[in-house]
Chains A and B, each alone.
Chain A
Amino acid sequence: MTTAQQLKELTQQKYRYGFVTDIEEDRVPRGLSEDIVRLISAKKNEPHFMLEWRLKAYRNWLTLEEPTWANVKYPPIDYQDIVYYSAPKQKKPLASMDEVDPELKRAFEKLGIPLAEQQRLAGVAVDAVFDSVSVATTYKKKLGDLGIVFCSFSEAVREHPALVERWLGSVVPYSDNYFAALNSAVFSDGSFVYVPKGVRCPMELSTYFRINAKDTGQFERTLIVADEGAYVSYLEGCTAPQRDENQLHAAVVELVAHEGAHIKYSTVQNWYPGDAEGRGGIYNFVTKRGKALARAKISWTQVETGSAITWKYPSCILQGDDSVGEFYSVALTNHRQQADTGTKMIHVGRNTRSTIISKGISAGRGQNTYRGLVKMMKGAVGARNYSQCDSLLIGDRCGAHTFPYIEVRNPSAKVEHEATTSKISEDQLFYCKQRGISDEDAVSMIVNGFAKQVLKELPMEFAVEAQKLLGMSLEGSVG
């Protein structure tokens, strides 16, 4: 061994040891390297397979290039200027609602969020009786009795490593794309759900009820496995405005629906969109995908009103015969927001069916792009797809774009795609106004009517809030 090599190894070793002592701290240094990945894994006490997986993902990420095909524009991201791990910070709780930012309070009121929830969201110390933690504990016991596992991802890695090892990356491999690879290497936390055979989850599962849900960080990882014949409905996000300092969010969600299982995944995304001039705001680059085995059904519903940039395509791999995929989406861009969103329906099995309903709303200088793929593989005998993508334009400086891709490899497959683009109807506006309804309420009403097909897919309490949210997100776009 040459001296140079020895020296190199020695320095590397020392480097590694150096980090071990760092475990005491709750933040890792800025930047990304193999050592950072090891450090994150060590801090989380992860089993060996998890570290190996992260490292493979990291090495793969190094070989990838950041995608540029999306119809969005943003300044280059410096991946070495990001802190990839910080343990949950304990913010100083506010003493009462009076200390909360009045703008935030106004938003809560408009959305009609209950007081207890308002306090939790705003970070106000809550009365122990109404503490969401205690509520969550009660629910947890009930779920446990049914054999349902619902916990944070870190907990799942520790408590149910066999389940995690088996399914992690089975739908979104670490090599899937640039942001998924990055997430796989450095993900901090997220949710894990396992519903056993034949069990129908009795309540809507939501990050809202989960302990430690706050500050799961910018690289969130969710894995939901529904065993044969199981049913689960999962709600992600929240209609209330979410303040977050992290600019880049690269999350991954994987769904596995076994034979005859049904997973319903609903999202309301209302991250900080930046100000009216487009300064600040979250980059929301998400990979979401589900795999449906025979007779299984996966249903994605999303209401996207926040983030400066949204880049996400919740997808279904319809692998088993007679499986069903659904995608219902409302994406709203106002001011200078940009959204490039849609879905992929990959039909593999026979008689698979998919439905895509996408409603894009552009206002201000918002740019809204629907990008979707419907792929009928060779074995997809008798498969069906119906897609409808409508765009509504409010104001003459926004944009609405539709880029569907249809790839058919089987002659018995039927694919239909339809899209329309139009502006908000002046007749409808006039009608509302002459009945004494204000400009803003009228627009909000018309937009809600436009989005109704999607909103009705949301769980009840979410749907009500989402309607109000649409109206609020459009404030200042008329008149």
Chain B
Amino acid sequence: MTPVESSLVELFAKDPREPGWLAEARLEALARFRARGLPTSRDEDWRFTSLASLAPVVLERTRPADAEAGAARLGALLARAPGGGPRLVFVDGRLRRELSVIEGLPAGAIVSSLAQALLEAPALVKPHLGRLARPEEHAFVAANAALMADGGFVHLPAGATLDAPIVLVFLASGARPALASPRTLVVAGEGARATVAEVFLGEDGVYLTNAVTELVLGEGADVEHVRLQDESPRAFHVGVVAAEQQAKATLAAHALSLGGRLSRSELRTRLVGEQASVAANGLYMADGERLVDNFSWVEHAVPRCSTTETYKGVLDGHARGVFSGRIRVMPGAQKTVARQMNSNLLLSDDAIVDTKPQLEIFADDVKCGHGGTVGQLDEAALFYLRSRGLPAAEARGLLIYAFVAEMVDLVRAAPLRAAAKGLVQARLPAGARLLEAA
């Protein structure tokens, strides 16, 4: 990747106060990214997702966005984001203090921007930053590690419990082709319990969001992580969530991918302590010429852990949906229970789905299953609704929502569930009418 020069590091992430180890790590990551280049469809993990449209549009002309982007437009965007608890707002990857609220935290808990945490509590950040999302394994992670400017930092001491969700909002001003590299780190101590949401919103413009999130779950921690992606229809979005779960740690990861011209949502988690469990949920909707890619990778390293994975997709127009999920049960990880499911609804003649649910099992005392389905709306059900006087669009909207509602309902935190429901329904045929009726 020639356009990304080391001067870019300075351009994007210049902070003279930054610790030396981080500056070094950036250059190393950049070198790795340069050596590796963007993945191509010859990479098995990117088989169905061509990045050809990304390279010329964004990277060559990419710059940090204009810091003074139109505040009025941001207000409308921000109104769509959930709140009600601690909330940090980033615009084009930079924290906006005046839009952020931090309150109601239990003793010892920290919610701050990552840049701030690096200055004020480096000892809490350094052991984890880049440990789970490793630049040597992933081109986009390497690019993020080199160019990350800011993002969220959540530290929960042992036993800390938060009922209100912690919401990180990433707004794209869309002022000009830009690159934002949000970086988030969540460290949940023993038995801590919280919901952390990352919300990506953009209205217009061509830009790339290259987000990386690391989730460190201590013993018995219970974390719900929600990604709501509703970027500009011309934007590119790649988001990698890398997690590690100690014994009895529970992770509920939701990825709702609604916007973007090309988006990819990745979840990679390792279950390293016994009785850890992960619920990986994904919902993706696309129309027009858009492509939405979902990738998940769960590794069972020890016995008695469980995975429940459910991804659902709705594709319309010429849209393309991709699902690639892998559950890997390592030698000795006995008594593993894993279930993987991907269901797709095709609404048009030109929509495309490629799905790859994969199981890789090296232990014998396991119960693993997976399934994949692709189908269309049931004509009989449509007819029934029409016969009850529902207009065609509403009938379709209702049936589509019936298909996806399960994914929305799985979100535990009420404010996030409501926000997700709103964003999803807004994308349905006769969505406004459905919203009204609700």
Contacts and interface: CB of A to CB of B under 8 A. Distances in A.
Interface of A: 69, 376, 378, 391, 393-423
Contacts of B331: 396-397
A9 to B, nearest CB: 40
Contacts of B369: 418-421
Contacts of A398: 362, 364
B355 A406 contact: yes
Contacts of A423: 364-366
Contacts of B357: 402, 404, 417, 419
B116 interface: no
B41 interface: no
Given A69-B44, A400-B361, A413-B374, A405 B366 contact: no
Contacts of A397: 331
Given A396-B364, A399-B360, 7 more contacts: A395-B364, A404-B356, A406-B355, A408-B346, A411-B346, A415-B375, A422-B367
Contact of A406 (B351, B354, B359, B368): B354
Contacts of A409: 352
A416 B355 CA distance: 11
Nearest to A426: B365
Contacts of A69: 44
A404 B361 CA distance: 14
Nearest to B321: A408
Interface in B203-252: none
11 contacts: A393-B363, A401-B361, A404-B356, A406-B374, A410-B346, A410-B349, A411-B347, A414-B375, A418-B369, A421-B368, A423-B365
Contacts of A413: 374
Contacts of A399: 360-362
A110 to B, nearest CB: 26
B334 interface: yes
B349 A411 contact: yes
A396 B331 CA distance: 8
B354 A402 contact: no
Contact of A421 (B44, B359, B372, B373): B359
Contacts of A422: 366-368
B40 interface: no
Nearest to B353: A408
A414 B375 CA distance: 5
A419 B370 contact: yes
Nearest to A401: B360
Nearest to B367: A422
B371 interface: yes
B352 A408 contact: yes
Contacts of A416: 371-373
Contact of B334 (A394, A396, A419): A396
A91 B105 CA distance: 85
B374 A394 contact: no
B6 interface: no
The 10 closest A-B pairs by CB, nearest first: A411-B346, A393-B364, A421-B368, A423-B364, A417-B372, A415-B374, A420-B369, A399-B362, A408-B374, A402-B359
The main secondary structure of chain B at its interface with chain A is: strand
B50 interface: no
Interface in B283-330: none
Contacts of B352: 407-409
Nearest to A405: B356
A97 B368 CA distance: 48
Contacts of B332: 396
Residue from A393, A420, A421 whose CB has the most chain B CB atoms within 10 Å:
A421
A401 B359 contact: yes
Nearest to A393: B364
Contacts of A412: 376
A410 B48 CA distance: 17
B362 A404 contact: no
Contacts of A393: 361, 363-366
Nearest to A370: B359
A398 B344 CA distance: 33
A159 B362 CA distance: 52
B100 interface: no
Contacts of B351: 411
A132 to B, nearest CB: 43
Contacts of B334: 396
Nearest to A420: B369
B358 A394 contact: no
A375 to B, nearest CB: 9
Interface string B79-101: 00000000000000000000000
Residue from A69, A403, A406, A416 whose CB has the most chain B CB atoms within 10 Å:
A406
A401 B349 CA distance: 33
B360 A406 contact: no
A421 B360 CA distance: 10
Contacts of A417: 357, 370-373
A402 B371 contact: no
Nearest to B364: A393
A401 B338 CA distance: 13
Contact of A403 (B353, B356, B365, B374): B356
Contacts of B363: 393, 396
B252 to A, nearest CB: 24
Interface string B370-412: 1111111000000000000000000000000000000000000
Contacts of B371: 416-419
Nearest to A395: B364
A391 B364 CA distance: 10
B324 to A, nearest CB: 9
B326 to A, nearest CB: 9
A404 B354 contact: no
Nearest to A390: B369
Contacts of B364: 393-396, 398, 423
A403 B358 CA distance: 5
A290 to B, nearest CB: 24
A365 to B, nearest CB: 10
A447 to B, nearest CB: 14
Nearest to A367: B362
Nearest to B370: A419
Contact of B376 (A391, A406, A411): A411
A406 B353 contact: yes
Contact of B370 (A396, A402, A414): A402
A413 B349 CA distance: 10
A407 B359 contact: no
Contacts of B355: 405-407
Nearest to A394: B364
B37 to A, nearest CB: 20
A407 B372 contact: no
A182 B206 CA distance: 48
A72 to B, nearest CB: 14
Contact of A415 (B348, B358, B368, B372): B372
Given A405-B356, A411-B348, A420 B368 contact: yes
B223 to A, nearest CB: 28
A408 B374 CA distance: 8
Interface string B328-342: 000110100000000
Nearest to A381: B349
Given A409-B352, A411-B351, A415-B373, A421 B361 contact: yes
A445 to B, nearest CB: 19
Nearest to B339: A420
A404 B358 contact: yes
A406 B368 CA distance: 19
A360 B79 CA distance: 53
Contacts of B346: 408, 410-411
A418 B363 CA distance: 20
Nearest to B366: A421
